[in-house]
A and B are shown apart, each in its own frame.
Chain A
Amino acid sequence: MIDWQLLFYRSFNYFVQGIIVYVAVINTIYFFLTVMGFFALRRYHARLTPDQREALIKSPLVPEISVIAPAYNESVTVRESVKAMLKLTYPRVQVIVVNDGSTDDTLSILIEEFRLYRSARAPMGPLPHKPIRGIYESRDPIRLLVVDKENGGKADSLNAGLDVARSPLVAVVDSDSLIEPDALLQAVKPFLEDPERTLACGGMIRVVNGCQVRNGRVTHVSTSSSVLALFQSVEYIRAFLGGRVALSFLNSLLIISGAFGIFRRDAVLESGGFAVQTVGEDMELVVRLHRRWRERKAEYKIRYVPEPVCWTEVPESLKVLHRQRNRWQRGTVETISLHKRVALRPRFGMMGVFAVPYFALFEMFGPAVETAGYVATGLGLALGLISREVAILFFVVSVLFGIVLSTSAVLLEEFTQRRYPRALDVIRLFVIAILENLGFKQLMTYWRVQGLVDGLKGKTGWGKMERKGFGGAPAASPSPGAPIVP
């Protein structure tokens, strides 16, 4: 006769132990990627020297770049961010701001601030997008184009920008972000080193909250006084210095942040531009580029350079952060679902064998498994179904391993980048890296589970983003522009 109670007890224990193994594997892979990232960074990453920088600024051989910045109701930040884009140190750059049918005064601010007139220029590219109402240029000798179009979302705006652009390279940025003056020069390096094979290059995104901003430039780097922003600072450092360097080294980088990335225009046009049906259009495009080039068995590179820095404002309210994380998770779900056929197929190289399965197993379903682990461990411990030792083991692999990863990332930042000049800031980040794993991470995991459910249900939409402005007075502005996916 079957002892059902014993069977349930054993099954429950196996379930919890399975989750422990799963969480241990995900964290071990991430730890390995961080270590690999550190060594790859040391070996391959070299900043441009001042001499090289000077020579490149003068050189007509450097390819022209169009910086495409979609804007939707960005009246609070658009003035400063466009000014910052116009001050980029690059020999041949054109800024294309795409006003995505804003309902506030974004367009009128741009017209007034930059003395715009309606130009005869028309889009010449092949990508479909919502109708363009007008293209504006400045009366002053500045290389600025403003495309005014009907609302169609971020991907649609980027496609319109791609159609208007004529340069061989396009930089995709968020109009609510600040780009460092040298960012384009640093990010274009992979294209100069290997112009035929390099398809795209992403850069590092940092948190601007707490920093001093003057005339569209970050003049003093400091950590924010908001704990929520601090948690996100650590998350961004971990994501950009930990995983992406290693994934780029393995040529399996699946995400180039929508806040800052450079693409070869012909490659993007050939791939059909940004997908309008997904909220994770940046990730989807990168996966599609991988897929296309792998299918045709052509050599290619999709790179990540940790140096070009784009500063972005992160949410300081739980409500907005919730919406953002939900959207990012939905983006991952949509992209992985769209390209699930790539998984575990050796013809797609490291991307098919490692990156896509890793994202599907751990990034997409990971939060659900981890949440199940928290619930099962708590319940099991309360009902006496699992031993204290098993519960402690789960705590070790989920929380303590998380602390290792976060603190390693902060140390990696201190050993390689050193962007925070004050020791106090480094200590704060270090403490936050520990605290992040004791509540904040679990909350993010739960929200990601909600995002997973919404993504599987096919929920769409961006939600609202409240902006304070760069060092200005607080204001609110709804926005569809996702700052980034770390």
Chain B
Amino acid sequence: MTARDRAGRAAVYLQALATAAAYAGAVAVVDLVYVRRHIPDRGLAFGYAFCLTEGGVIGGLLLLSLVLKAVRHRRDRTWERLHPRITAEAVAYLAGGDSAVLRTLVRRHPREVERCICEMLLFVQGTARARVSALACELRLDRVWKRRYRSWRDDARREAISRLGQLEGGAANEVLLLALADPNDEVKLEASRALLRGGGRDEITAVFRAALKESLLVRAVLTEALRPHTLMLCGSAVPGALACGDARTARTALEIVRGWGKSVPLASLDTLLGHSDAGVRAAALLVVPQMLNPAGCAPLIVAALGDPDEAVRTAAATVAGKLRLESAFAALVKCLRGGGADITVAAAYALAALGPEGCRVLEREVLVSRSASACAALEALERARSERVHLVPA
């Protein structure tokens, strides 16, 4: 648990304790100050004090809920009233006008002007977008957002980064790069997306490097965002991560590459297929079908079918089936008969994918064996014959 996590948990405990103490204190105050003067019996006085406090708290919360609803309603009405005017002024600015009226408006209605400019940044493109971006800077909104990014509130920081990310010309790249190390995942993702949208090679590489350190949740989202930059990243960033020597980084980089799901111009995975870490070996095997010349790895895949780690053997069997590696036949038969459920099923499906010869082995297995391998063989045979192999996970 990090120091920030601990602080967050402590804050929740303290808030809860403070609320409970405030509640108990309120009951005690009502009891001492008001009720006990009228009711001599302590127990009864406490009971009445409790009732009064309870009524007050419930009434107060209901009132608060109604006030919040009213505030929201009022804001909406202000927005509806001002929106056309602000938009008209902004459009006039885009057409070459000045920003004097908008500057006045931003002083009186900062929230509405900010919201309108942000909406425009989302909807306009090209030079108009650059102009709206310049207008945001002219109205000093960028400074407001940068200041807001320093907030302790996660949602405020996320909103600030989301808005800064809309600015053109890398005006906020410095803050966005800083936000890649933010403790909140949402903020990191907003910053990453903004950098990928408008950043250059360095920014994209920075996002990839940040993704390597992140949780699976952030990584899965960033993998999708990084997909259009596959070729560029495979030039130096990915090989660099694979060769860094750290098993976790290499495994994560391989997972991201697998997540891209398309051919990658990686030179060789030989070193990783023989890595000391089983997780790296398994991850490297799963990336082999995406390489430009996967058949070149055939001997290593066959060797991996005899790996002491079952996850590696399962990955090797899956890949052998995908690549229809006939050289893996004998090793696959061995895998079918030995090991846990995962490797047995993967080997059976791989043999089914190898064609008639593989199916004959599976038929024989069904006839002579009563073990898990026979069950897996029968299932794989059925899939192969009904061409439904794709429906079942390996």
Contacts and interface: CB of A to CB of B under 8 A. Distances in A.
A51 interface: yes
Given A60-B258, A119-B379, A121-B379, A32 B20 contact: yes
Contact of A56 (B19, B185, B220, B345): B220
Contacts, number: 143
Contacts of A249: 9, 12
A112 interface: no
B259 A61 contact: yes
B125 interface: no
A191 B345 CA distance: 25
B181 interface: no
B345 A403 contact: no
Given A43-B11, A52-B189, A60-B259, A35 B220 contact: no
A43 B224 CA distance: 27
Interface stretch (A75-83, A332-340, A353-361, A388-396): A388-396
Contact of B19 (A35, A193, A388): A35
Contact of B259 (A59, A189, A400): A59
B20 A58 contact: no
Contact of B376 (A56, A61, A124, A400): A124
Given A36-B12, A166-B393, A51 B258 contact: no
A115 B345 CA distance: 25
Contact of A120 (B261, B345, B382, B391): B382
A399 to B, nearest CB: 10
Interface residues of A, number: 60
A43 B186 CA distance: 13
B155 to A, nearest CB: 8
Interface stretch (A227-235, A376-384, A407-415, A467-475): A407-415
Given A167-B393, A411-B65, A39 B51 contact: no
Contacts of A414: 65
Interface stretch (B41-49, B199-207, B263-271, B321-329): B41-49
B54 A392 contact: no
Lowest 3 CB-CB distances: which A-B pairs, in order?
A192-B217, A122-B375, A124-B341
Interface of A: 28, 31-32, 35-36, 39-40, 43-44, 46, 49, 51-52, 54-56, 58-62, 64, 92, 94, 119-122, 124-125, 137, 141, 143, 166-167, 189, 191-195, 246, 249, 388-390, 392-393, 395-396, 400-401, 403-404, 407-408, 411, 414-415, 430
Interface of B: 8-9, 11-13, 15-16, 19-20, 23, 41, 43-44, 46-47, 50-51, 54, 57-58, 61-62, 65, 154, 185-186, 189, 193, 215-217, 219-221, 223-225, 255, 258-259, 261, 341-342, 344-345, 372, 375-376, 378-379, 381-382, 391-393
Given A52-B217, A401-B50, 20 more contacts: A28-B20, A36-B12, A43-B8, A56-B217, A58-B224, A59-B220, A59-B221, A94-B393, A120-B381, A124-B341, A124-B344, A124-B345, A124-B372, A143-B391, A166-B393, A195-B216, A400-B51, A411-B62, A414-B65, A415-B65
